[in-house]
Amino acid sequence: MKKSSRLTLDRILQSQGFGTRKWCRSLITDGEVRIDGQLITDYRTNFDTTDFAFELYGEVWPYREHVYIALNKPVNVECSRKPSHHPSVLTLLSEECTWRDVQPVGRLDHDTTGLLLLSDDGAFIHAQSSPKRHIPKVYLATTHEPVTEELVVQLLNGVQLHDEPELLAALVCRKVAEYRCEIILEQGKYHQVKRMLAAAGNHCTALQRITIGHLTLEQLGLDEGEWCYLEEHHLSLLVP
C-alpha cells in the first residue's frame, strides 16, 4: 500500500537502508545522488515519496515504504537473527535489508530449502504468520522409506504429534515418486512435516517448500540462495 508523504532526501536515503542519517547526508553532499537525472547536493531538499526513485552511485532505486522479499533458502542457513550453528539467512540479503531490519516470516529448518518470505513490515509479518489466516503451504518431502498408500491415508486422516492436543492432518498429500510426496499444510507447527512423516512411520530425508498461498518458487525463478523483491502482484497471491 503506497502512502504519500514528503521527506527530506537524507531521511529518504536512511529509510531505504543506506546507513545512518549522517552517512546519507554525506552521500548527498558528496554528489552521489541524482533525482530525475539532476544532481542534488542539499540534503534538506524534500520530495513526495509516491512513485519516487533516486539514483545512487549511478544505480536507480525505487522508493519502497516497506520491502517484501522472497528467498530460495539453501540448506545450512538458519532463520534466526542469532543463529547457533549456521549463518543466518539474513547474511544472504543485501546490506540495505540489514539496515531496514528485515525479518523472516516464520521459519524453515536449517536443512529445509525453498520459499521463505522476509519483510520489514511488522503488520505483514504478523498477518502472514497468523494461524487464523489458513494460508496453505506446499512442501515436497523426500522420504527414507517408499511412500505408500497407507502413509498418504494416515497423513490425510491426521496423526498424533507429541504435545499437540488434536490430530494434525495434511490438506493434501500426494505421492509424486517412489520416495517423494507433496504435502500441503495450513498450520506451521515446529518441524511439522518431519514430525508428521515420523508419526506415520516414515522419515523425511529432504524437505523443500515450493509454494506459499498461490505464490510459487517456479514463478519467481530463483536459484538456491537467490532472492528478489516482491511486487504488488506477487503479494496478492499470498492468500488462502
Active-site positions? 109
Q: Which is nearer to ligand URA, 46 or 187 (CB)?
A: 187
- DSSP label at residue 223: P
Buried b / exposed e over 30-58, threshold 16 CB at 10 Å, is: eebbeeeeeebeebeeebebeebebbbee
User: At closest approach, how far in Å is the CB of 206 from ligand URA?
Assistant: 11
132 burial (CB, 10 Å; 0-12 / 13-18 / 19+) is: exposed
Interface ranges with ligand URA (CB under 6 A): 108-109, 112, 191-194, 207
Closest C-alpha to 60, from 24, 21, 16: 16
User: At closest approach, how far in Å is the CB of 110 from ligand URA?
Assistant: 8
What grid cell was written down for 128?
A: 502472514
First to last CA, the chain: 20
User: At closest approach, how far in Å is the CB of 77 from ligand URA?
Assistant: 12
For CA atoms 140, 221, 69, 113, the dihedral sign is positive
Check: CB of residue 161 under 8 Å from CB of residue 154: no
Q: Which is nearer to ligand URA, 112 or 119 (CB)?
A: 112
What is the C-alpha to C-alpha distance for residues 192 and 210, in angstroms, rounded to an integer?
16
User: At closest approach, how far in Å is the CB of 207 from ligand URA?
Assistant: 6
N residues, the chain: 240
Q: Which is nearer to ligand URA, 16 or 208 (CB)?
A: 208
Q: Which is nearer to ligand URA, 32 or 109 (CB)?
A: 109
